[in-house]
């Protein structure tokens, strides 16, 4: 049935559709609706487990424990909470634990502007925990996509045996749109790994060999592990190379944006070509190269001070123009002003 | 045989000769055998530090969590799979310092977990720094003039809840230790067993002990059984206090 659904609610409903049966979290704006919905779900469905944790560190570790015990688990937070979860995310990469971390971004750093949207966790998501790792990250830009990519995130986590990040922002999370979630078809991949209490395995955050035995001073074991993880994640990422490209043969400029900013930029399709990565990481290298090759100028518009722009620049090895939308204000006038200033011509 | 519960092929263990964790491991294996706990019905969750390595020596699924995070992991495992016996084994630094907030709140939520705290009063693995349970005035590498603060009172912390189970024992008192572990597993809520243990290499020698054996004799001399029915354990009393 068609009805008004909020972005955060769609994330939750998508998680349920994916078979999620465990949530742990700590209240934080602008993600708290997801925690509240999970609490309500647990109250009506005894098969759904819920912990309101004492902090985000606890929540992140709880969803790891739940996953090892056989649940499909997730948590939802925002920038500062996501920072507290970083160590656990690294652990989940090391131990190969599938779980979904939802990050509804707000303006930072620190407590920042708790109810205002931002896209300032791009680098935190890619490089926030210690060591090398290759996270899979999706960033929907509509309520329908929140639902769709919540399911996708669980599937990608299951396939890659890794923590997958579902990015959102205060704007997308609090957006209300009319959708019929029941009409959205995304198949959910079931849990694969046998749960705790069935074997004699050892799950450790120490570098370990294939049997799980700690090997903490053997570079060859480490290199083999990292190479295997990288290949595994790259193989899974190929199944989810999602993006949106609107070419424009009459323009010499390609605008790259994602999440809520891509919605704001959409009316400029008649003047520019538009590219929107949905799988933010691993970067859609091949697709960005392909789409960028016919355009002289590449502009990345994002609600941070150039985090993804820097990565696109490194990827394309070309000069990139970046238009930052800062302080939680995101609208078309700001985009046009930014473009006019950076492109040195009036954009109307 | 209780030895069947251990991965003997991985022996010798990572621990120093004379370490108290080996004794804890053997006693736990004996109780598990007695209670019929094995890889089909039990999991061991351990934290970072010397004690954290214990889970890897048992023939059950084991999780070596991040430092301080045994309790959030264990509580979630128990919630998802209530029929599984979930045993947490970790050190005093892991449980009472870096994991202190989780200890406070996990005990408050009172899940059916058994927590065995190998309390050697020092950060052994990192070289012998003072920890949350180091007695005041003890000289360690990070408290050369003596530990400046009183140690955390684990008993009082546990007894802050409306329901609690707190047992105090030592690795010297093996029969008592086994009985505490047995009772903790039987307890239908959060059960905390505070096990005084020796770290000879990174604490004992600095305190003037020549061997682990001397430390064990010290435990024998100083720790006495609490009177029957005691509601509070004195500083050198072993026993169980509980309220259901």
Closest residue in A to B101 (Cα) is: A54
Q: Which of A20, A51, A69 to mutate to test the interface with B (most CBs of B within 10 A)?
A: A69
Closest residue in B to A203 (Cα) is: B63
Is the CB of A51 less than 8 angstroms away from the CB of B101? no
Q: DSSP of A38-91, one letter per residue? A: HHHHHHH-TTSEEEE-SSHHHHHHHHHHHHHTT--EEEEE-HHHHHHHHHHHHH
| Other residues' Cβ atoms within 10 Å of the Cβ of residue A271 | 16
A318 lies in the same domain as A194: no
**Residue A86 at interface with chain B, using a CB cutoff of 8 Å:** no
A145 lies in the same domain as A221: yes
In angstroms, the CA A250 to CA A272 distance is 8
By Cβ distance, the residue of A51, A200, A202 closest to B75 is A51
In angstroms, the CA A242 to CA A257 distance is 14
Distance from CA of B177 to the nearest CA of A (A): 25
A232 lies in the same domain as A250: no
Q: Which domain holds residue B97?
A: 2-9+17-243
Residue A348 falls within a domain, yes or no?
no
Whether A64 has a pLDDT exceeding 90, the answer reads yes
Number of domains within chain B: 1
Which residue in this structure is represented by tokens 């190479």?
A: A227
Out of A182, A210, A238, a domain closes at: A238
Q: Which of B42, B73, B82, B88 to mutate to test the interface with A (most CBs of A within 10 A)?
A: B73
A331 by DSSP, 3-state: which? coil
Is the CB of A202 less than 8 angstroms away from the CB of B64? yes
A149 lies in the same domain as A30: yes
A·B CB contacts under 8 A? 131
Residue A145 falls within a domain, yes or no?
yes
Distance from CA of B123 to the nearest CA of A (A): 18
Average pLDDT, stretch B99-120?
A: 98
In angstroms, the CA B142 to CA B130 distance is 6
Kind of pairing between the strands at A163-169 and A136-138: parallel
A73 lies in the same domain as A194: yes
Q: Which residues are CB-neighbours of A228 under 8 A, at least 6 positions away?
A: none
By Cβ distance, the residue of A55, A69, A198 closest to B76 is A69
Q: DSSP of A12-27, one letter per residue? A: HHHHHHTT--EEEE--
A11 lies in the same domain as A131: yes
Is the CB of A73 less than 8 angstroms away from the CB of B76? yes
| CATH value at residue A255 | 3.40.50.920
Q: What is the pLDDT of residues B146-168, one digit of tens each?
A: 999 999 999 999 999 999 999 99
Is the CB of B69 less than 8 angstroms away from the CB of A57? yes
**Residue A198 at interface with chain B, using a CB cutoff of 8 Å:** yes
Is the CB of B64 less than 8 angstroms away from the CB of A73? no
**Residue A19 at interface with chain B, using a CB cutoff of 8 Å:** no
Distance from CA of A73 to the nearest CA of B (A): 10
By Cβ distance, the residue of A51, A87, A214 closest to B56 is A214
8-state DSSP, B96: I
Q: What's the length of chain B?
A: 244
Average pLDDT, stretch A247-257?
A: 98
- Phi, psi angles (nearest 5°) of residue B118: -75, 100
| CATH value at residue B82 | 3.40.50.970
Whether A211 has a pLDDT exceeding 90, the answer reads no
* Averaged confidence pLDDT in chain B: 97
A233 lies in the same domain as A330: no
pLDDT of A301 reads 98
Out of A220, A238, A256, a domain closes at: A238
CB A102 within 8 A of CB A74: yes
A162 lies in the same domain as A88: yes
Is the CB of A66 less than 8 angstroms away from the CB of B80? yes
A140 lies in the same domain as A54: yes
**Residue A58 at interface with chain B, using a CB cutoff of 8 Å:** yes
Q: State the DSSP H helix or E strand holding residue A149, giving kind and residue range, or none if neither.
A: helix A143-160
Number of domains within chain A: 2
pLDDT of B200 reads 97
Half-sphere exposure of A160 (CA within 13 A, CB side): 33
Q: What is the pLDDT of residues B178-230, one digit of tens each?
A: 999 999 999 999 999 999 999 999 999 999 999 999 999 999 999 999 999 99
pLDDT of B123 reads 96
CB B120 within 8 A of CB B86: no
pLDDT of B147 reads 97
Is the CB of B80 less than 8 angstroms away from the CB of A212? no
Is the CB of B81 less than 8 angstroms away from the CB of A22? no
Report ipTM for this prediction.
0.97
Q: What is the pLDDT of residues A114-152, one digit of tens each?
A: 999 999 999 999 999 999 999 999 999 999 999 999 999
- State both tokens at A186: 């995304």
CB A297 within 8 A of CB A253: yes
* Averaged confidence pLDDT in chain A: 97
Q: DSSP of A241-278, one letter per residue? A: --EEEE--TT-SEEEE--HHHHHHHGGGGGTSEEEEES
- Phi, psi angles (nearest 5°) of residue B242: -155, 155
A231 lies in the same domain as A291: no
Is the CB of B61 less than 8 angstroms away from the CB of A198? yes
Q: How far is CA B37 from CA A200, B7, B86, in A?
A: 13, 15, 10
Is the CB of B76 less than 8 angstroms away from the CB of A22? yes
Q: What is the pLDDT of residues A154-176, one digit of tens each?
A: 999 999 999 999 999 999 999 99
Out of A216, A238, A260, a domain closes at: A238
Q: Which domain holds residue A176?
A: 3-238
pLDDT of B232 reads 97
By Cβ distance, the residue of B48, B73, B81 closest to A61 is B73
Q: What is the pLDDT of residues A4-29, one digit of tens each?
A: 999 999 999 999 999 999 999 999 99
Which sign does the torsion angle of CA A326, A330, A336, A339 carry? Answer: positive
CB A309 within 8 A of CB A322: yes
Question: Could you report how far apart the first and last alpha carbons of chain B are, in Å?
Answer: 34
A chain contacts of residue B105, beta-carbon cutoff 8 Å: 53-54, 58
A323 lies in the same domain as A181: no
A214 lies in the same domain as A308: no
């Amino acid at each position: 049935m068609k009805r008004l659904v909020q972005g955060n609610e769609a994330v939750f409903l998508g998680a349920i559709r994916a078979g999620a049966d465990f949530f742990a979290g700590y209240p934080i704006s602008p993600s708290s609706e997801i925690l509240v919905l999970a609490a309500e779900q647990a109250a009506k469905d005894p098969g759904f487990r819920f912990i309101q944790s004492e902090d985000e560190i606890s929540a992140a570790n709880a969803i790891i424990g739940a996953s090892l015990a056989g649940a499909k688990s997730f948590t939802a937070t925002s920038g500062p909470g996501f920072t507290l979860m970083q160590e656990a995310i690294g652990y989940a990469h090391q131990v190969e634990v599938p779980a979904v971390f939802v990050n509804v971004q707000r303006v930072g750093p620190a407590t920042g502007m708790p109810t205002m949207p931002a896209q300032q966790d791009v680098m935190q998501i890619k490089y926030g925990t210690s060591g090398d790792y290759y996270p899979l990250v999706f960033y929907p830009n509509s309520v329908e996509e929140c639902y769709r990519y919540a399911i996708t995130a669980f599937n990608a986590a299951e396939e890659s045996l890794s923590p997958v990040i579902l990015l959102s922002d205060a704007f997308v999370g609090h957006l209300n749109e009319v959708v019929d979630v029941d009409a959205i078809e995304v198949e959910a991949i079931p849990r694969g790994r046998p749960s705790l209490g069935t074997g004699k395995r050892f799950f450790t955050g120490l570098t370990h060999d294939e049997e799980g035995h700690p090997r903490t001073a053997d570079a060859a074991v480490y290199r083999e592990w990292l190479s295997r993880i990288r290949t595994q994640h790259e193989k899974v990422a190929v199944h989810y190379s999602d993006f949106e490209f609107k070419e424009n043969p009459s323009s010499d400029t390609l605008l790259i944006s994602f999440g809520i900013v891509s919605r704001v930029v959409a009316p400029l399709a008649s003047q520019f070509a538009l590219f929107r990565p949905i799988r933010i990481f691993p970067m859609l290298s091949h697709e960005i190269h392909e789409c960028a090759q016919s355009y002289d100028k590449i502009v990345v518009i994002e609600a941070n001070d150039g985090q993804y722009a820097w990565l696109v620049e490194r990827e394309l090895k070309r000069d990139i123009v970046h238009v930052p939308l800062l302080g939680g204000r995101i609208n078309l006038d700001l985009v046009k002003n930014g473009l006019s200033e950076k492109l040195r011509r009036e954009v109307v | 045989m209780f030895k069947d519960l251990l991965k003997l092929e991985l022996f010798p263990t990572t621990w120093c000769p004379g370490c108290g964790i080996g004794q804890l491991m053997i006693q736990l294996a004996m109780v598990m055998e007695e209670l019929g706990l094995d890889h089909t019905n039990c999991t061991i969750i351990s934290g970072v530090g010397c004690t954290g390595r214990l889970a890897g020596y048992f023939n059950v699924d084991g999780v070596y969590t991040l430092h301080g995070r045994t309790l959030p992991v264990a509580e979630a495992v128990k919630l998802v799979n209530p029929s599984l016996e979930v045993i947490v084994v970790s050190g005093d630094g892991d449980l009472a310092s870096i994991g202190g907030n989780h200890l406070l709140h996990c005990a408050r939520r009172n899940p059916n977990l058994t927590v065995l705290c190998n309390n050697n009063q020092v950060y052994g693995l990192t070289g012998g720094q003072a920890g949350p349970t180091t007695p005041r005035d003890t000289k360690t590498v990070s408290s050369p003039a003596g530990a400046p603060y009183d140690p955390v009172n684990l008993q009082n912390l546990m007894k802050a809840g409306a329901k609690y189970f707190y047992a105090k024992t030592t690795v010297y008192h093996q029969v008592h230790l086994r009985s505490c572990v047995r009772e903790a597993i039987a307890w239908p809520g959060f059960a905390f067993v505070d096990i005084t243990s020796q770290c000879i290499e990174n604490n004992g020698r600095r305190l003037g002990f020549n061997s682990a054996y001397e430390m064990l004799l010290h435990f024998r001399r100083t720790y006495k059984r609490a009177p029957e029915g005691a509601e509070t354990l004195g500083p050198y009393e072993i026993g169980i206090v509980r309220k259901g």
